[in-house]
Structure 1
Amino acid sequence: MKLFALFLICLPAMVVAQSREVDPDDLRLTIEIEELPAQPFQQEMILLTIHGVYQRHITQEKLEQPDLTGINWMQLGEDHWFESRLNGKTVKNMRRRIALFPETSGKLEIGAFQHHLTLLDEENKWFEHTIRSQPITFDVIPVPQTKQWWFPVRRLEIQDSWSNAPDQLLPGEGVLRIIRVSALGARPDMIPPMPELTSPSALIFPHPEKRLVDLTARGPEAVAFWRWTIKPRNDVSTILEPIEFSYFDTATRKSEKAVISAQRVAYLPDETDQPAQVAQDAPAQLRPGLLIICGLVSFLVSIAVLVGKDREFSGVWLRRLFEKYTLLYRLRRGVRQNDLSTVRRLAQSLDHQNIPDDVRATLLSKLDIHIYGRTQQVFDLKEFYLRFRRSIH
């Protein structure tokens, strides 16, 4: 009896809630532009929030966006649905965030967003209803007169990394340089073009740049990877010239200059040129790796003797064979230690010593993407080693 009485009390409210007559206060849709420290320039990011509040049960919905003439835009993730309290009642909310990048200056208008809703009437039948937001306008300033690349950002981060120590290269070895430019509040195409890396005495091989974008609650974060392989022309060292580019800090409203300092690239001194050092009664220690290499030397010498019966013995052939198996041993040790930079360096050395192979090229490309790209895929280093080892002849 008490439950029936409670049902009778709630019935009028339920009937009103599921009526074909829609109270405008029950369904509201607004759009709002974030406050900026000053009027925005062209291409400067502006965050737009679309917010809906719904006191009716919704069975289906579709948000229609107006034509944003003169504005480039990016939606920051999926629509966010959540509940809140309004006048003591639980109501549904929808929030969508969009990053706007004005392409033209002057007064721009954002037209009305339309939210097409499917509601229920008194008989639990569906009917369509549309709510609209009010249009808003804002002013945009033209790009300042400058000969520099126009690059407005909220935050800029630069990372300069190397595949191995650039001033400790082995004779004849090259090094891979990767500069990562991360810009919050920018699209990937807004980052300046990959600069030309210069040096008075170095061989420089540029790689195709990579550009990505990460959608965050604070706006899109564009990322560019600039990559070069560098090798000194001489047997000693070389200097890479600094890299500079300008950008506009939208927080401080000032033009700034990013400078990546000069870098020395050098070979390690040849150990044969160093004076010999006399050991000071140090206790003898046998390392497992040394034992393996010694055994390998004995094995190779035996092969050389057998080969010498049929053809003239070649010291160059023996040295190359020894270098190959030494590199393979070090590569396997790097895989066990999960040392990606060492694995990449040794794999590149082995690849250069062998005839070009499509399988090795594909494996090295996947390794580079795993190390320097932003991928979430699992990379099996042991499988890489096994397939790479089979491609070495």
Structure 2
Amino acid sequence: MEGARHSGRWNKKASFSTILLLMCMFVPTLVSLQKTCPPGDYDNGNGICCNKCLAGFKLLEECQAEGQRSNCTQCPPGQYTAHVNFFRNCFRCKQCKAKHELVESECKSDSNTICRCEDGFYKDQIDSVTSECLKCKQCGPDEMEKQACTPNSNTVCECKVNYYKLNDKCVPCKNCTSECKNHCLPVKTTTEVPKSENRFLTNIIAGGVTVAIVLLAVASLITYMITKWLTKKKLQERTSQSSDVSSPESLEVLVQSEEPSEKGLKAIPQSPGSEQEPFNLPDCVPLEIKIPDLIYMVLDLVPVLQVKQLVRSLGVTDTDIERAEMDHRSCQEAHYQMLRVWAERGSRAGAGGRGGMLHRPLMLELLDKLRKMHLGQAAEELETKYGIQ
């Protein structure tokens, strides 16, 4: 047994040594097969350097021996190659089909089509291949243009002088801040303010605050004394009236009239003009937005694969999404239910409309989420449909 084990180990070591020896023999041979071709040529895999095709051409047949030339042919109409190559096929030319997109340069055999947006629009790059033309931003009444809209970038706006940004709106300056330097006192850099002046200013402010507190206390005391005197006078008048009442029935009526009960409060007559009717705020949306019609239009404009991303960005939970998918076999019905959950939840929170109508805050939120998902064309169609400015 021991001899068999030693023999097996020796056989394994011998096999491993043989493999290493073979590798050492063939590696120099493989290295010698690699060939460096001059610039503009390529190795066809058989150790032969063939020339590449020029831009605008494709490879029809590669060379078969040293000194031969590859057979190249020009790309057919509607196709191109932009660089030297040894491709068997040309690339298909791009077509400018996006909304508000124009052809700036036609496709040639050695260059692809170049598209640009119409005037008043700029190109928003979705990915390395896809882009869309979006409308250039118009600066607001309290803004000024910092950078004009270009074919590849949107307008850049900034607040006017003496205005600053607050919650994405420009509001006028009121206090001394980093954005509102005009409300700051000038700082003397060469000379320091004497300490005596600082003390004088501090004393004035402290004196003014003390006087205001004293006046407020005096006013409160006077108000308290007047109220106390009027209350005492009313009690005296009621006491004198009660002494003139001779019968127990009249006394009972007087006590009931003075009892601060709910019935007494309800008995106080009110003039027709004093009745307060509930004040209804006007609808903020220029046109009525019916929730079912809006949802169907969104489902027509948004790609099916992006509907879940949209409803999640609108605040619909994964639980509601799974419930909608379980309750409805149809994908469109499930997506409708997801958007319905968003609209009804907004209605209960006070942002939605009543009677199946949608208010402006939810509509603006939907448009903002569509643009962040690079669905600006869908947002523009909704704005056009419902007259949102």
TM-score of the pair, normalised by structure 2: 0.24
Relative contact order: is structure 1 or structure 2 higher (C-alpha 8 Å, sep ≥ 6)? Answer: 1
Greater fraction of residues in strand = 1
Greater fraction of residues in helix = 2
